[in-house]
Structures are given as structure tokens and as C-alpha cells.
Structure 1
Amino acid sequence: MDSELRNKYPHHTWTSVSEGDSGAVVYHLTGEQPELYVKIAPNAPENSAFDLPGEADRLEWLARHGVPVPRLVERGADAGAAWIVTEAVRGVSAAEEWPEHQRFAVVEAMAGLARTLHDLPADECPFDHGLSIALAEARHNVANDLVDLEDLQDQYEGWSGEQLIAEVERTRPQQEQRAVCHGDLCPNNVLLDPETCEVTGVIDVGRLGVADPHSDIALAVRELAIDEDPWFGPQYAERFLEHYGVQRVDKDKVAFYQLLDELF
């Protein structure tokens, strides 16, 4: 499949961006306009984020609802793999080292994006990534040794997959809100205009679906609070919550969804 796609775009320079995650590969195609990204993954990937037919459907749905996403150039599948080709989106990742005077604006743009997604009509969204589905995936990951136990947050260091899933079950919220959620709302999945800090693109939407909005908030504030990065820290996580609307946030749910994410 790799060679067939290369024959379709022979004048681009292909650069591997990532490889791993259940055999999925991503290429950046440059040297011709437009710049493109190619994703290739097995037809039944172990990582649900690499369900490429599903990601293509989500890109089209978001575009119809006015959310800036990469334009889908082509999609396809054969007996062994699926692929999507998208146009590159202008902008700078929110995860880059922004100048200090822009950092709060970057965080506020992320919070505004979260509100925009969560205010989309959930009853019109055909994709479901609610808690019952997420828990089923988490149990599958534990049962099949797919959890990276060497890359847990400090408070879970040394825990087994079984201990993690037991704690998830123990702390499961009694009520679940329903909103359109990105599913992996981390800074590296948000692109911004380098001058205005306005959102120019939302990428890696393979887990987008109706879920509790705290599943997005949890990942955003966790990443923004990491003070090992010189340009982020706890004050940026607090600014995110303030701009999103701290009155809408349940901190126990934030902690729960951060724990749940350890299993993905």
C-alpha cells in the first residue's frame, strides 16, 4: 500500500513522522503544493485512535459543522490496511515553545476550542465514545497487555493494569454528561495562528465522539500543568479552567478521566 500511494504522489518528498501504534504510520509530504499528510493503519488496529475510516468520517462531520480541520483529499482501504490523505493545516502547534507574552492566549484558545466542541449538537453527532465504550476499550487493553506501565503518572508508578482498572471501576462517576468531545484534547492536537493565536486546525480526531466533557478537560489540564516544560505549568492549567468556565468543571471527574487515560 505504501508504494501504491507513493505512485499517486510522486513529486512530493515523503518524510516519516511517526511509526508504532498498532502498525500505523504517518508521512508528511512536502515539495509540492498542497503539503499533505498520509496515515496508513491496519484495518483492525489495536489502538482505536487509528480507525482511519472512522477518522475520515469525523473530519467530514466536523468540517460540516464549521470546525477547522484538515481537508480530506482521499480515503481508502484494501484487504490489509486503510489510509487517509489530508492537506496540511497552516499554524503552529499549541505544544510548541511559545513566547511568554502569548502563552496565556494559547491556553485561552484551547479552552475556547473545548467550549466550541462541547457546544456542538450532541444529538446530531453519530459518533459515540461514552464511558461504557471507553471502559470496554480499557478492559481490552489491560487484558491484552496493551497498557504502557512504564509511562504512568507519578501517583500510579508501579501499578499493574489490573490495579488501574480496579481503581477506575471504584471511582467511576455516577452520572455522565454528554457532549461532542475531541477524545485527545492535548496541545499537540491544536494548531494556532502564530500572530493571533486563533485556532487554525484540530487534528488527530480519531476518538472524537459524544462523551463526558471532562474527558477532554482532564487531558488538557494535565498536559498544561506539566512544569517540566519551561513554557507550561500549573498557572496555565488554571487559566484554561478559568477561560473554559471553572463553574462547569467537577474536579473529581477530572481526576477520574486522567486515571482512565492511563489505560490508553
Structure 2
Amino acid sequence: MTERALAGAPEEPVETPGAILDRAAGPLETVWENELGGLTFRDRTAGRYLKWVAAGTPELDLDAEAARLRWAAAQGARVPSVVEAGSDRSGSWLVTAALRGDSAVAPRWIAEPGTAARAIGAGLRELHDRLDASVCPFDWSIERRLEQAEERLSRGIGPADWSPEHRALSIRQARDLLRDAPPVDEPVVCHGDACAPNTLLDESGAFLAHVDLGALGTADRWADLAIASWSTVWNYGPGYEAAVYAGYGIEPDPERIAYYRLLWDLS
């Protein structure tokens, strides 16, 4: 699989950074480790989550995430409130208030994937409707992401690192496909990483909030929808993509879905 498969709760104990220990009010639980080594801890005593990124990991910018969370919250989006963000020589951290809900990949929702998938779509619709793209200071456009794709290709990341759906493409073929972008359907403020783990559901299975908004910015709504639906395959298995579109209230657009999934893989 691709890099995405490497993210999840760590199976082995991890060393808790000193900066995180300094900000903990009680015992910490390591709840997530991403493919770049970023860690997320839960502090149940304080009702907070603490994210950590080691120095020298430019792909993960917690200051940028804090800025996006604050902006989105001020615009009325349902996101965690920022308690603190900072850095030192060893790395950076972001502390947010916990919300009373569970990730869409919590065991309960893995067992009820149709409910979860529909809530993911409904949550994206709320985000896209609530935030005003005309005043958003953050960009997630095709142009910016094509620059990121070229940077990754320059580091030797190629077909072997892509999803199985795209591995038969050569780099030249992939570039040609990405240069032929479909017209923007509707510009919105996108989540930027609308995978299932980044949607929180309430006890009834309704959308509660979004987390991990480090890439939030203006883009076509299909940039989010294509990945949100795709992530249901990774997390629940086949058969639940339609529930995302139904929750959003839209019919699938195969051309844009295919384009934004390829762009995701390369960028």
C-alpha cells in the first residue's frame, strides 16, 4: 500500500518528547503516529490532545495548522480550539481541547461504516457551506499542489510509492494527466486531508467536528470529496463511497474524482 497505510495508533511504545511531558496534566496515551513520525497524545486529565513533530520535518507544520484552526473556528467551523502552539530546538507542538466525540475510524464506527461514511459527507458539506472561500487566506489550489508533486518527484518518489490504482502509470503519463485538469466545479474552503480518521462523530453517529486541518485552503470541492470517499475503501472496505456522496448531497463526478485522487497520490 501507499504511505497512508502506515498511519495509525502505534503498535510499539514510543518515547514521549520532553516538551509534551511538560504540558501534560496527567498520564498520556499515544493515539496516533503518522507516516512522517508525527505523534498525537491524549491527556484525559486535562481534556486535551497534544501533537508533536520532530525538528527537521518540514512536511508537518503545526504553526500552520494552528493558524488554520483559529481561522476556521472564527468563521464558525466545528473544529477543536487551540490551547497552545510552540516549538524549541527538538521540535514543535500543538495542544487542542478535546471534543466529546469519536473518530470515524473508532471501533464502533468501523462496525457501522455506512453511518460513518454518510456523516463524513455531511461534515464536508457543512464545512464547505460555512467557510467563505473568497476571504480564505490559505491556498490548496491545483497549481500549488503540482509544485509539491514536482518536488516529491525530484526526491525520487515515483510509481512504486503510489496507490495500486496508479502504479501502472509512468511519471510522464502521470504528469500529462495532471496538466489536463478539469474545470473547477465549485471553489470552497477544503479540509485538505478529509480522510475518515479526521472526522469526529457524536454518540448518535452524526457529524461532530473536523480535526487535522494543516492543509486547509481554497480548492475545488472535489479535491476533498475524492479523498474522503476513497478513504472509506482504506478504512472500511469497498462499498461505502456512495454513502459519502449521499451525505454531502451530490452525485459522483468520475472525471474529477479520478483527477484529484491522482493529484493526491503525487502531491
Q: TM-score, normalised by structure 1?
A: 0.82
Cα distance in 2 for partners of 1:250, 1:216 equals 13
Q: What is aligned with 1:191?
A: 200
Q: Tell me which amino acid in the other structure corresponds to 1:186.
A: C
Match of 2:95 in 1: 85
> What's the secondary structure of 2:38's corresponding residue?
strand
Within the alignment, does 1:6 sit opposite 2:21 as a pair?
yes
Match of 1:109 in 2: 119
SS at 1:246's partner residue?
A: coil
How big is each residue's C-alpha offset from its partner over 1:197-248, in whole Å with a ceiling of 9 and x where there is no partner?
A: 1222211110110011110010112122x2x76x4433x211322332335x
How much has 1:161 moved relative to structure 2? 4.2
SS at match of 1:262: helix
Query: 1:178 is matched with which residue: 154, 165, 187?
Result: 187
Contact 1:178–1:210 (CA<8 Å) still a contact in 2? yes
* 2:228 equivalent to 1:215: no
Counterpart Cα distance in 1 of 2:247 and 2:263: 24
Q: Which structure 2 residues correspond to residues 114-263 of structure 1 after superposition, within 5 A?
A: 114-119=124-129, 120-146=131-157, 149-169=159-179, 171-175=180-184, 177-194=186-203, 196-224=204-232, 226=233, 231-234=236-239, 236-247=240-251, 249-263=252-266
Give the alignment of 1:23-62 within 5 angstroms: 24-30=37-43, 32-42=45-55, 45=58, 47=59, 50-62=60-72
Gap change, CA 1:82 and 1:160, over 3 Å in 2 = farther
Segments of structure 2 that go 5 or more residues without pairing to the other structure are 1-15
Give the letter for the 1:141 counterpart.
R
| Deviation string, structure 1 residues 9-30 (Cα, Å, up to 9, x no partner) | 2633353731541xx4213143
Offset of residue 69 of structure 1 = 1.6
1:189–1:99 distance in 2 versus 1, CA, 3 Å:
closer
| Deviations, residues 90-140 of structure 1 (Å, cap 9, x unaligned) | 322212454699543322221111111211211121111111111111111
Q: Aligned partner of 1:68: which letter? A: R
Write the distance in 1 (CA, Å) between the matches of 2:212 and 2:69: 9
CA contact (8 A) 1:142 1:162 kept: no
| Aligned amino acid, residue 107 of structure 1 | A
RMSD between superposed Cα atoms in Å: 2.8
Partner-residue secondary structure (3-state), 1:75: strand
Rounded Cα–Cα distance in structure 2 between residues aligned with 1:154 and 1:70: 34
Q: Per-residue deviation at 1:162?
A: 4.6
Residues 223/29 of structure 1: CA separation in 2 closer, same or farther (3 Å cut): closer
CA distance in 2, matches of 1:212, 1:93: 25
2:24 touches 2:43 (CA, 8 Å); kept in 1?
A: no
Q: Check conservation: 1:43, 1:77, Cα contact below 8 A.
A: no
**Structure 1: distance between partners of 2:125 and 2:109:** 25
Amino acid at match of 2:83: V
Tell me, in whole angstroms, the C-alpha distance in 1 between the residues paired with 2:171 and 2:76: 39
